[in-house]
Structure 1
C-alpha cells in the first residue's frame, strides 16, 4: 500500500483536535499510535472498519473508533471505511446479510410486499432480525479477515516491487558510470 498515497488523503490529527464537535474525543485523537501508517496498522484498520460497516447497528463510526483504539490501528482509516455502508449501499448489503443469515439458520426468506410499510416491517421484525444479525456477523468476520490478508499481501507486493525498481535503477546507474569510465 503506498504510504504517501494514504497520507495525502488522511486528515491531520491537529486539525481534528481543533474542531469543536470533536473535543470530546481529544484523548483518542491525540494518541500518535492511532495515526501510524504501517502494514499492520493499515491492515487492522481495514478489518475494523469493514467489520463495523457490515453490522446493522447505529453509531458505526463510534464503534470503529473504539475498535481502532483496542486493536491499535489507524483511526482515520477504520472510521472512514464504515462509510462503505451508506444510504445507497446499505439496502443491498443488509439484504445480502439477511439472505446469508436465513441460509445459515435454515429459515425461509421473507418476501417483501409490493408496498413496504412500517406496519409490515414492525410485524415481520421478529422474523427478520435474527437472520439479519447472524448473517451480518458472519459476513463481517469474513470480510474483515479477507481485507486484512489482502492489504498485507498488497503492501508486501508494493514494497518488493519498489525494491526491485530501486535495484534496477542502481544497476543502470552503475552500468552508465562504468561505461563512462571505459570510454
Structure 2
C-alpha cells in the first residue's frame, strides 16, 4: 500500500515543523493537513514536488514548501520530491528539458560548451533560454499531472486490492 511505503521513508514531522528554514512560514506550518498522509494530500504533494523539481531556480525546496502550504498538501513529501533534480541528475534532466523546448519551438538543438562565467550565462540565456524555459514549464506541468493522477490511481488501486484480499479471507 502506498501509505505504508511513503510513511516508512518520511521523517518525523516534529523535526520538520521546527526546522530553522521553515520559520519564515510562521504558524502556517502548524496546519494539520500538511502532516497527514491520505490520497489527496499524497497526490497533491507529488504534483507540487514534481512541478517544483523542474523549475530552475535556487531554493526549490522553499518554493515547494510554500506551494504545499498554499494547496494544503503533505509538506514533507512535496519538499522531498524536489530532490529529483539534484546536482547529479540536474544536467541530464535540464538538457532533456531544453531539447523538449527546442522541439516545441521547432528549433534545432544548439550545441554549447559550459563555462563558469557571467558572460557565458547571459549569452546562453539569450540563445537557448526561450527553449529551455518553455521546456521547463511544459515538463513541470506534465510531471505534475502524471504524478497527481498516477499516485491517485495507485492509491485507489491498492485500497481496492486490499479490500479484495480482506473479502477473500
Q: Note if contact 1:13-1:29 (Cα within 8 Å) is conserved in structure 2.
A: no
| Matched ranges for 1:32-47 at <5 A | 32-47=32-47
Distance 1:23 1:50, change over 3 A: same
Deviations 1:74-133 (A, max 9, x none): 0000000000000111011111111111111122322024xx323544423211111111
Q: Note if contact 1:16-1:29 (Cα within 8 Å) is conserved in structure 2.
A: no
Q: In structure 1, what is the equivalent of residue 154 of structure 2?
A: 154
Q: Distance in 2 between matches of 1:162 and 1:42?
A: 18
The CA RMSD measured in Å over matched residues stands at 1.7
Q: Distance in 2 between matches of 1:3 and 1:168?
A: 22
Q: Distance in 2 between matches of 1:80 and 1:161?
A: 27
Query: What SS is found at the alignment partner of 1:37?
Result: coil
Distance 1:13 1:53, change over 3 A: same
Distance 1:54 1:18, change over 3 A: closer
Q: TM-score, normalised by structure 2?
A: 0.90
Q: In structure 1, what is the equivalent of residue 166 of structure 2?
A: 166
Q: Which has the higher contact order (CA 8 A, sep 6+)?
A: 2
Computing the radius of gyration from Cα coordinates, the structure with the larger value is: 1
Distance 1:146 1:108, change over 3 A: same
Range that drifts further, 23-32 or 77-86:
23-32
Distance 1:16 1:146, change over 3 A: closer
Q: TM-score, normalised by structure 1?
A: 0.83
Query: What SS is found at the alignment partner of 1:73?
Result: coil
Distance 1:131 1:37, change over 3 A: same
How far 1:21 sits from its partner (Å)? 4.8
Q: Unaligned stretches of 5+ in structure 2? A: none
Q: Note if contact 1:45-1:77 (Cα within 8 Å) is conserved in structure 2.
A: yes
Q: Distance in 1 between matches of 2:138 and 2:112?
A: 23
| Matched ranges for 1:98-177 at <5 A | 98-113=98-113, 116-117=114-115, 118=117, 119-169=119-169
Q: Note if contact 2:16-2:76 (Cα within 8 Å) is conserved in structure 1.
A: no
Q: How many residues align?
A: 167
